[in-house]
Amino acid sequence: MANWSNPLLTSTYTNFLTEVKDRDVDLALALDPASFVSYPTNIPTNAIRWMSSNNRWEKYNGSTWGALSTAFSISLGTEGAPSLYFGTDTNTGLYSPGADQVAISTNGTGKLFVNPNGSIGIGTTTPLVHIKETAAATYAYFRLEGNGRGGVLEYYNGATQEAAIVANAGVISFQNTATSVERLRITATGDVNIKGAGNPLISTSQAVSFSGSAPVDSLVVTSAGLVGIGKASPGSALDIGGELRIYPSSGAGILRFGSGGAEKGKVSVDASSNYIVETAGSERMRLDASGNLGLGVTPNTWSTTAKAFQFGSYSTLYQNASGYPELAFNTYQNTSNIYIYRNTDVATRYSQTNGSHSWFTAPSGTAGDPITFTQAMTLDANGRLLVGATSSRAVVTGLSTNWNPRIQASTTSTNTGIPFAAYAWNTYNADLGAGNGNGADIVLARSNNNTEGTHGAVTDAMALGRINFNGSNGTAFQNGAQITAVVDGSTWGVDDCPTRLVFSITADGASSPTPRMIIKNGGSSAFYCDSTVDTIYSSSAAAAGTSRYLFIGTHSATAPLTGTNAILIMTNGNITNLNGSYGTISDAKLKENIVDSTSQWADLRAIKIRSWNFREDTGHETHKQIGPIAQELEQVCPGLVFEAPDRDAEGNDLGTTTKGVNQSVLYMKAVKALQEAMERIETLEAKVAALEAA
């Protein structure tokens, strides 16, 4: 590195040459800092250096280096002698044809021009190509000029041409140049043709064609992807404002449906006029040319007088050859009006004829064979339902002779329930026997014998009949409740028929009913409930008062609703009995830890006896009453106060409680306090007597 203050006049000859040489080296290195280990010193102001770290020339102002200049000016040049050229190729480079213009020439000829408006021209000095137009209300242009022909825009993959857009004589054509096939054409009249398979000339093989003279909104695609044909504002994926026709030149007319890019179903009409619906690649419904409908099956060849709706391989709703409606399982009526098995299986059918409804069954048979049906159940024209019988019969003795029940059933099987019947007479009343009733009865009768019509006396604990209440658990039906009549105590004889009724209910979380109430043959009733519910809940719509009762108990009764009142519980909570006597279980054999009670004197003195009435919104009587307030009593004798949860009509806990008072215990405390008062009185009396004697 050089010290640019040297050489001095005092420098020796040897030093002078070395110092001059160092300065020459610095200049040869253009003072580039990257070329020095130690940078030259005392460089004069306005010195110029090359800065290779940022590729620029810099100028020294005496203390710091800065950019030499932010702009450079060169001559305009010409297309044959551009002002900025490359290497020794002086006729290829950048020049300016005039003010505010830039051009590129090759081989002495201008090839690319940018005019003052920013338009770009390739091969023309008056360009119209605007990549981005900044002038207000001015279009951007891209212009291709042909010599007597239209313009062509070609697309290449490397050196291989792939496609082209050709504009000529008012027609725009999109072509696949690799196969020389025109794919899309837009004519001067607005016609749009998209080529399909076949002849490369699109005018004779278009797959899709739009006429330029088509009505407004012939085809509309909204921003939401909804397509309208003849609809300006389609409301669905495809909205057609007119008739849809599918008329193929050959084969079936098909309408296909799908989801997720895959076909899910189709509707078609074949050459034989069969209307066919398919889903998941399988036929689901067929309406044949004769008007018979098959759902999931091709309709059989029915009698020409029948019209059928077949669904699945078994079920059919149809009008039979006699003109009556039928619902059938695994059968059809052939052209000879014979019932035929459709599959190898059992067969059933339901028919209406002249006001009578009939149900028929047939055992399993072979597909294609004739069927012999058995009439299993009939609802006759007189409104009688017959199960296991084809005609009505009088079967109940002791109630009426020659009497035909509305519902009748017969069976000899020991594995099926005994049939039931409901009866009605205008002069019969099963409960009172007064001969003036018009009610109906349901009779569940049992004979201890497996032969129909043969009697056998029922024995103790044998169920006479049961009414079951079932519900679905989502998979199968389960028993929720039942009422059972059971022989109670001994084998029945004539006029000796002891019976009890058992009411059973299934609890939450249980799978079968539990007996909850039993009415014994003597009339006594027994109740049983879980620990989470109340045993008896008696409600009255009457207001709180003494005119209506929640409970009435009588003695010396001879029948229900007879006898002398012994105890009454009124709607205001009053309990009235004949002798005013109430008791508790108090036998010493049931008790332990028996000691004298402690003094109740202080407690009784601290208890506040208040006068009060119930609020009207409680629904209780609002007359003045006397007694303690639970919250106040709780401060003195907390053991006398209890809390009960508040519940709604369904027994659900409302989350609040109501306090109550154990009045009977309070009375016992009062008795103890009275005994203490008597002792004090007797002591005072003795003292008074002694004083008086003195």
Check whether 602 has a pLDDT greater than 80. Answer: yes
Q: What is the mean pLDDT of the chain?
A: 81
Q: Are residues 272 and 343 in the same domain?
A: yes
Kindly indicate the confidence band of residue 688, based on its pLDDT and cuts at 50, 70 and 90. very high
Pairwise pLDDT comparison (479 vs 81), residue with the higher score: 81
SS3 261: coil
CA 342/CA 315 separation, integer angstroms:
10
Distances (CA, A) of 537 to 24, 65, 501: 123, 106, 21
Q: Are 220 and 227 in contact (CB under 8 A)?
A: yes
Q: What is the mean pLDDT of residues 113-138?
A: 71
Nearest to 278 by CA among 297, 261, 259, 301: 297
Non-local (6+) Cβ contacts of 347 within 8 A are 328, 329, 330, 331, 339, 341, 361, 362, 365, 371, 373
pLDDT value at position 436? 47
Distance (Å, rounded) from C-alpha 292 to C-alpha 314? Answer: 15
Query: Is 312 in the same domain as 349?
Result: yes
pLDDT above 70: residue 204: no
What does the pLDDT look like over 18-73, one tens digit per residue? 777 777 777 777 778 888 878 788 788 888 888 888 888 888 888 888 887 766 67
pLDDT digits (tens, 9 = 90+) for 481-505: 999 999 998 888 888 889 999 999 9
Res. 136 pLDDT band, cuts 50 70 90: low
Is 116 in the same domain as 199?
Answer: yes
Name residue, tokens 């001059």.
Answer: 20
Say if residue 405 is preceded by a cis peptide, omega within 30 of 0. no
At 427 the pLDDT is 47
> Which positions ≥6 away from 541 have C-beta within 8 Å?
none
| Number of other residues whose CB lies within 10 A of the CB of residue 600 | 20
At which of 379, 403, 429 does a domain end? Answer: 379
Residue 405 has a pLDDT of 66
Strand order in the sheet with 227-229: 220-221, 227-229, 238-240
Q: Are residues 375 and 284 in the same domain?
A: yes
Domain span holding position 157: 88-210
- Other C-beta atoms within 10 Å of 389: how many? 18
- Amino acid residing at 431: D
Same domain for 613 and 672, yes or no, is yes
Sequence-separated contacts (24+) of 1-8 with Cβ below 8 Å: 1/26, 1/36, 1/37, 1/38, 1/39, 1/40, 1/41, 2/26, 2/40, 2/41, 3/40, 3/41, 3/42, 4/40, 4/41, 4/42, 4/43, 4/44, 5/41, 5/42
Q: Write down the pLDDT at residue 139.
A: 63
Task: Establish if 255 belongs to a structural domain.
Answer: no
Instruction: With respect to residue 510, please indicate whether it lies within any of the assigned structural domains.
Output: no
Overall pTM > 0.85: no
- Whether residue 107 is contained in a domain is answered as yes
**How far apart are alpha carbons 556 and 301 in whole angstroms?**
79
- 203, 310: one domain: no
How is 179-204 classified by DSSP, letter by letter? TTEEEEEE-TTS-EEEE-SS-S-HHH
Q: Are residues 277 and 338 in the same domain?
A: yes
pLDDT digits 0-9 by tens, 262-299: 888 989 888 888 888 888 888 888 888 877 888 777 77
Do 646 and 657 meet the contact criterion of CB atoms below 8 Å apart?
yes
Q: What is the reported pLDDT for 226?
A: 92
Each residue's pLDDT tens digit, 78-104 = 988 998 888 889 999 999 888 888 989
* 18 and 127 belong to one structural domain: no
Boundary residue ending a domain (379, 396, 428): 379
Instruction: Give residue 347's region: left, alpha or beta (phi > 0; psi -120 to 50).
Output: beta
- Decide if 175 contacts 192 (C-beta within 8 A): no
Provide the percentage of residues in the chain whose pLDDT is more than 70.
87
- The answer to whether position 40 is within a domain reads yes
- Please say if the pLDDT value at position 610 is more than 90: yes
Which range of 10-14, 400-404, 647-651 scores highest in mean pLDDT? It is: 647-651
Residues 1, 28 contacting (CB under 8 angstroms): no
Question: Do 52 and 126 lie in a common domain?
Answer: no
Q: Return the pLDDT at 130.
A: 59
Torsion, Cα of 651, 655, 658, 659 (10° steps): 120
Q: Which of 379, 403, 434 is the last residue of a domain?
A: 379
Higher-confidence position of 629 and 117:
629
Asked if 228 and 239 count as a contact pair (C-beta separation under 8 A), the reply is yes
Residues 484 and 466: beta-carbon distance below 8 Å: yes
Residue 249 CB-half CA count within 13 A: 0
List the helix and strand counts (H, then E) for the chain.
Answer: 5, 46
User: Do both 160 and 48 map to the same domain?
Assistant: no
> Higher confidence at residue 121 or residue 128?
121
Average pLDDT rounded to a whole number, residues 235-264: 85
| Residues 322, 535: Cα–Cα separation, whole Å | 62
In Å, how far are 396, 421, 443, 454, 556 from 446, measured between CA atoms?
A: 12, 12, 10, 11, 35
pLDDT-derived band at 160 (thresholds 50, 70, 90) equals confident
Please count the other Cβ atoms lying within 10 Å of the Cβ belonging to residue 571.
21
Distance CA 427, CA 449 (A): 32
| Residue of 644 and 307 predicted with greater confidence | 644
Number of domains in the chain: 4
Looking at residues 250-263, what average pLDDT do you find?
85
Identify which has the larger pLDDT, 309 or 360: 360
279 and 365 inside one domain? yes
Tens-place pLDDT, residues 427-470: 444 454 444 445 566 778 888 988 878 889 999 989 888 888 87
Same domain, 179 and 283: no
Give the model's pLDDT for residue 439.
58
Residue 609 within a domain: yes
In a domain, 234, yes or no: no
Domain assignment present for residue 431? The answer is no
pLDDT score recorded for residue 487: 92
CA 29 to CA 44: how far, in whole Å? Answer: 16
Residue 398 has a CB neighbour count (10 Å cut-off) of 5
Answer yes or no: is 677 within a domain: yes
Phi then psi for residue 123, to 5 deg, are 85, 5
369-420, pLDDT tens digit by residue? 999 998 889 998 888 888 877 777 654 333 334 456 677 776 656 555 555 5
Q: Which residue has the higher pLDDT, 668 or 212?
A: 668
